[in-house]
């Protein structure tokens, strides 16, 4: 999964979406892979105004990238353009989790694919989850 994608991801739970804590999602145990792909200067220049810069800074810091300016640049020079290309397009998260800070739900990333299906989508009733959670507490 690309870092650019994480700038466009929030919690899948409807009740979380309106809450500011659900964006951006936060990485846990992220395993990164650096790919190389051709630099497309006008693509990056056009992506820039669309980015949520503060969310990107949060994500980049969590993953150890510290070379982005604190304020969103108004013009993309080559240095900023390349840095953005490297982070947004060439960095892949191959394993790990994305966590919602509002509800604590963890979305798994496996082999580069994030899975946003909720327990309800998988035919597990919420009641069973609560019951399972209670059991887990008893036996911890």
| The Cα angle at residue 105 between residues 14 and 113, in degrees rounded to 5 | 95
Q: Does 27 bind other proteins (CB under 8 A)?
A: no
Q: How many CA atoms lie within 13 A of 81 on its CB side?
A: 13
List 39, 43, 53, 65, residue binding other proteins (CB under 8 A): 43
User: Residue 45: how many CB atoms within 10 A of its CB?
Assistant: 14
Both structure tokens of 34: 């650096």
32: its two tokens: 């990164």
- Residue 22 or 60: the one with the smaller Cβ distance to other proteins is 22
Instruction: Convert residues 71-110 into a mask of x (bound to other proteins by CB under 8 A) and - (unbound).
Output: ------------------------------------x---
Count how many residues are written for the chain. Answer: 140
Can you tell me which of 19, 26, 39, 47 binds other proteins, judged by CB under 8 A?
Answer: 47
The footprint of other proteins (CB under 8 A) covers 1-2, 4-5, 8-14, 17, 23, 40, 42-47, 50, 52, 107, 111-118, 120-121, 123
């Amino acid at each position: 999964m690309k870092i650019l994608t994480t700038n466009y991801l929030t919690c899948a739970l409807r009740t979380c979406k309106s809450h500011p804590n659900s964006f951006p999602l936060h990485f846990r145990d992220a395993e990164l892979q650096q790919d190389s792909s051709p630099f497309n200067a006008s693509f990056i220049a056009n992506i820039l105004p669309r980015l949520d810069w503060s969310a990107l800074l949060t994500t980049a810091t969590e993953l150890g990238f510290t070379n982005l300016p604190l304020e969103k640049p108004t013009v993309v020079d080559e240095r900023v353009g390349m840095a953005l290309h490297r982070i947004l397009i060439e960095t892949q998260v191959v394993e790990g989790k994305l966590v919602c800070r509002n509800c604590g739900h963890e979305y798994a990333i496996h082999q580069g694919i994030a899975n946003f299906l909720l327990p309800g989508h998988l035919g597990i009733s919420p009641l069973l989850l609560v019951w399972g959670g209670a059991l887990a507490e008893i036996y911890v």
